[in-house]
Amino acid sequence: MDVLTRLVLYFFSLQALCCPVSCAEWEAEVIKKIEVLTTSCVVIPCSFEYPGVQKSHSQLRGIWYSGNARDKFIYHEDDTKIVENFKGRTKMVGDLGSKNCTLEIVEFKNHDAGPYCFRIEIPGGENFSYKDNCAQVFVTEKPEEPKLHYREKAYEGSPYAITCSVIHTCPSHMPELTWSRGGKEEVTTHYKSIGEGKWEVQSLLTFVPNEHDDDADITCAANFYGGMNSESKMNLRVKRETAVFFCELYHYTTTGFTHLVEALLQEYLSVLEHMQDRCINICTYFSFSCNYLFNNVHS
């Protein structure tokens, strides 16, 4: 292999190693659209890329602004530059040094709807606004109702479970799920991200129903950050396993009774036959018609 070939291979190898960092473009990945419950909060997932070597958080300045007005900052590290109605309600929860520009907005208001865009500033370097990758945020005043999942049949004395879940946009202030049923029931709660800027809270209620639970309503209520509430309920139908037992017992009892009656009839007929034999001897002695007697008895 000649020297020129070695140099060419070395050049391409060096370029392949360096390009993941130095050849990066100005790109951002932001949730395209999301619906937020008024008075609650939203966390807008965001990541970005920029050319050159990766810098630390302190070497970068992240800004969020309204897509309708580039000079309307809804988040800035300098609080004095944030528009009045967003002051104290926005927070950069992502680490800029890790190229994470995730934004949190709390106490969401009706007039907060609109496109939001991210801008990165590199002191002593270039600045860039990712205006082609903005998040469109909508507002809803109706909280989502919890979803209930359960078996239709519950049996007295057997464990029973009901799952209640609700989707939200506020992982920093999770909705609280509560049950109408009290006592010693076991409740477990789980949290998870389902993507697209949405999270889910799931509550599992387990208990052993009794006869008094039949036709009872069980309610799961969701209390969202900001004070909004919603609920869903189900009607519990409890089947008594003793009813099944009694049916089987009745079957076996009636069957046994039938067998008993049959046995008694057989015994009765056997006695009659024995009596008939004895009566023949007596009737012969007294010259009496036994056939006439037993024909009348059997009839």
pLDDT confidence bin for 125, thresholds 50/70/90: confident
pLDDT tens, residue by residue, 47-90: 999 998 999 999 999 999 999 888 999 999 999 999 999 999 99
Q: What span, in angstroms and rounded, lies between the C-alpha atoms of 223 and 170?
A: 12
The reported pLDDT for the residue numbered 190 is 96
Domain extent listing, the chain: 22-140, 147-239, 244-298
Q: What mean pLDDT value characterizes the chain?
A: 81
CA 13 to mean position of chain CA atoms: 49
Spatial separation of the C-alpha atoms in residues 154 and 239, rounded to whole Å: 6
3-state SS class at 289: coil
Residue 122 has pLDDT above 80, yes or no: yes
> What is the reported pLDDT for 240?
85
CATH of 147-239, one of 3.40.50.720, 3.40.50.1400, 2.60.40.10, 2.30.30.90: 2.60.40.10
Q: Report how far Cα 106 is from the mean position of its chain's Cα atoms.
A: 24
- Structural domain 22-140, CATH architecture: Sandwich (2.60)
Beta-sheet strands, E only, within the chain: 27-30, 33-37, 42-44, 46-49, 61-66, 69-75, 90-92, 103-105, 114-121, 127-129, 135-140, 147-150, 154-155, 160-168, 176-179, 186-195, 198-207, 216-223, 229-236, 238-239
**How confident is the model at residue 162, as a pLDDT?**
97
Evaluate if residue 176 carries a pLDDT over 80: yes
At 13 the pLDDT is 45
Looking from the CA of 242 toward its CB, the CA atoms found within 13 Å total 4
Residues belonging to the chain? 299
pLDDT of residue 70: 86
Banded pLDDT at 8 (limits 50, 70, 90): very low
Q: Which residues of 95-110 are buried (b: 16+ CB within 10 A; e: fewer)?
A: ebeebbbbbbbbebee
Count Cβ atoms below 10 Å from residue 32 Cβ, excluding itself: 11
For the cut 80, the answer to whether the pLDDT of residue 290 exceeds it is no
Least confident of 26-30, 122-126, 150-154: 122-126
Answer positive or negative: Cα dihedral of 34, 38, 40, 41.
Answer: positive
- Residue 91 to residue 76: CA distance in whole angstroms: 9
Mean pLDDT for 272-295 is 42
Q: Are 236 and 213 in contact (CB under 8 A)?
A: yes
Angle among Cα 111, 115, 118 to the nearest 5 degrees reads: 125
d(CA 150, CA 206) in angstroms, rounded, equals: 11
Nearest to 129 by CA among 225, 65, 218: 65
Mean pLDDT of 187-212: 94
Q: Indicate the SS3 state at residue 157.
A: coil
CB atoms within 10 A of CB 208: 14
Question: What SS3 state is found at 71?
Answer: strand
Continuous segment of H or E residues that includes residue 7: helix 3-22
C-beta of residue 128 within 8 angstroms of C-beta of residue 120: yes
Place of tokens 């580039």: 70
